[in-house]
Amino acid sequence: MLISYPVSKETGKSVRMDGKGILQAIIALIIFIVFAIIYFIILAFIIKFSVGLFYDYPVDAGFVAIGASILTAGTLIAGGSIREAFKLN
């Protein structure tokens, strides 16, 4: 029985993932998660500082976390759609 894998339109080669491709995907995922956590922490400090700068009101950590998570999620989603919009590889 012959197994046929999908073929890339650009290169004409098989698009199945071998060991190298899986390892690269796992490394990219780990780097992506690390950068998302760093971005979240930096954004939380920015939100906390800006609220303290413009309002003389103590901010609950829950509100800072919610705001930072919403902005982080929006940035990650926008980053994925930018790749598709400009056809970046």
Please, what is the Cα angle at 44 between 65 and 33, to 5 degrees? 80
Question: What integer pLDDT is reported at residue 6 of this predicted model?
Answer: 65
Q: What is the 3-state secondary structure (H, E, C) of the chain?
A: CCCCCCECCCCCCECCCCHHHHHHHHHHHHHHHHHHHHHHHHHHHHHHHHHHHHCCCCCCHHHHHHHHHHHHHHHHHHHHHHHHHHCCC
Of the chain, the percentage scoring pLDDT greater than 70 comes to 69
CA distance 37 to 43: 10
Residues 64-89, mean pLDDT to the nearest whole number: 74
